[in-house]
């Protein structure tokens, strides 16, 4: 399953209604959706079921998503160019 999972590429849809951004990720195994306002902390359950506190900001055209839990922190950077999304 792990090998198959690494070969599938999820589809991510980013949309905005008013000042609320929706980030929906669909893969063969799971669909996740988060709704947030830029710069405001929100509770998030990650795809691997961690409960985290998240903040998403916009920095130079990149969405910077910081997740904090149990004294740990991870940063996800999403950048759209040429109709392609890069996640680092």
What is the spatial distance between Cα 81 and Cα 62, in angstroms, rounded to a whole number? 10
CATH of the domain at 56: 2.40.128.20
Instruction: Over range 40-58, report the average pLDDT.
Output: 95
Q: Give the chain's domain count.
A: 1
Q: Is the pLDDT of residue 4 over 70?
A: no
- pLDDT for 2: 53
28-47 confidence digits (pLDDT tens): 888 899 999 999 999 999 98
> pTM to 2 decimals?
0.84
Instruction: Over range 42-54, report the average pLDDT.
Output: 94
Range of the domain at 16: 2-87
9-29 confidence digits (pLDDT tens): 888 899 999 999 999 999 888
């Amino acid at each position: 399953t792990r090998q198959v999972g690494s070969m599938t590429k999820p589809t991510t849809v980013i949309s905005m209604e008013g000042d609320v951004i929706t980030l929906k990720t669909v893969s063969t195994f799971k669909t996740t959706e988060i709704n947030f306002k830029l710069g405001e902390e929100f509770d998030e359950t990650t795809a691997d079921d961690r409960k985290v506190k998240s903040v998403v900001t916009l920095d130079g055209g990149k969405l910077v998503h910081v997740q904090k839990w149990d004294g740990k922190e991870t940063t996800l950077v999403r950048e759209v160019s040429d109709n392609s999304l890069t996640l680092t």
